[in-house]
Amino acid sequence: MAAGEQKLGNALGYQLFYLFIKVGGRRCAYALLNWVCAFYVLFRPQVRCSCEPYLTHRFGAAVGFTKLWQQYRLILSFGRVMVDRAIVATLGAEQIKVSLVGREQLLQVRDQGRGMILLLSHVGCWQLAMSAMGALNEPLYMLMHGHASSFESKNYQTEVDSSCPYRTIDPQGYLGGSLEMLGVLKSGGILSIMGDRVPRQEKNTAPVSLLDGEVALPISPYHLASATGAPIVVLTSRKTGDSTYEMVVADVIEVPVGLGRKADKFIPYVQRYAAILDDYCQKNPYQFYNFFNMWQ
């Protein structure tokens, strides 16, 4: 979780959701969620603050009820994703259907045998949508932190133990896991990285434009691609219905080999990714889940 994000809820609250899911299913849990989200938006200023940077950049400055309504919709949308994950953990993966748009393109890249970097973002629900990556029929290595939220932690462990097709590389490990990632790509493997958040103390970023502002995004995926010759497949996920998600192959970015170490060499490729994020936010305004000020 990025700096500035707040941990919400407590163990009792999470158990209540699990109980509602077991007793009444999705609709029952969603009904509870409506009230919980309304409570958080009305009575927890830090929740409203965490929504503010994104909503302001996406919709412009809003006031009064409009602003509250935007905050509520964003939190509710995020809450539904969390509930869906809990449903999968509690009732099984068959409760959610995930479709993959761009399957042929993805398989073509895999068949080139150059390794592959799957570049994901905190949009939709990448955890659930990753099940669509079963189409690759190969193990995935994912760079990811342990989750800060106990709700996510409980869910994530359950998903990993049951159905998730990925293995993790810890960015807090030796040299940020860079040598492990290099090893995966050199052996023609598939590596998954989040492209929209900068790990703590990471200095290797590039300034790019997103939603009419400037953000710093990490260059490490593009540098790895340049070092190994692996193509970058940009994936976005979105919730399309109560029990349906879609994973989309949004772009395949080829970074030239041997660009070297300087961050500015990678700006065009990072900007290309940022443009995809921008377009995603225009089309799915309440499915972008970075609850901190990316534009600082």
Partner 1 sequence: MAKVEEIKEQLKVILIDDLNLDDITPEEIGDNDPLFGDGLGLDSLDAVEMAVIVQKHFGVEIKDMEEGRPALQSVQALANFIVDKQEKA
Q: In this structure, which amino acid lies at residue 232?
A: I
Q: Among residues 185 and 211, whose Cβ is nearest to partner 1?
A: 185
Nearest approach, Cβ of residue 197 and partner 1 (Å): 16
Nearest approach, Cβ of residue 225 and partner 1 (Å): 10
Distance CA 278, CA 208 (A): 11
CB of 25 within 8 A of CB of 17? no
Nearest approach, Cβ of residue 156 and partner 1 (Å): 24
Nearest approach, Cβ of residue 182 and partner 1 (Å): 6
- Adjacent-strand bridge partners of 208: 215
Length in residues, the chain: 296
Helix (DSSP H) and strand (DSSP E) numbers for the chain? 9, 9
Q: Among residues 167 and 186, whose Cβ is nearest to partner 1?
A: 186
Nearest approach, Cβ of residue 204 and partner 1 (Å): 5
Per residue in 151-178, is it b (16+ CB within 10 Å) or e — as a string? bbebbbebbeeebbbbebbebeeeebbb
Q: Among residues 156 and 266, whose Cβ is nearest to partner 1?
A: 266
Nearest approach, Cβ of residue 172 and partner 1 (Å): 11
Query: Quick one: DSSP state of residue 163?
Result: T
Binding region for partner 1 (CB under 8 A): 174-183, 186-187, 203-204, 219-220, 223-224, 227, 258, 260-262
Q: Among residues 128 and 140, whose Cβ is nearest to partner 1?
A: 140
Could you count the other beta carbons within 10 Å of the beta carbon of residue 148?
12
Q: Among residues 122 and 223, whose Cβ is nearest to partner 1?
A: 223
CA of 153: how far to CAs of 22, 43, 85, 98, 145, in Å?
Answer: 19, 25, 11, 22, 11
φ and ψ at residue 143, rounded to 5 degrees: -80, 115
Q: Among residues 94 and 187, whose Cβ is nearest to partner 1?
A: 187
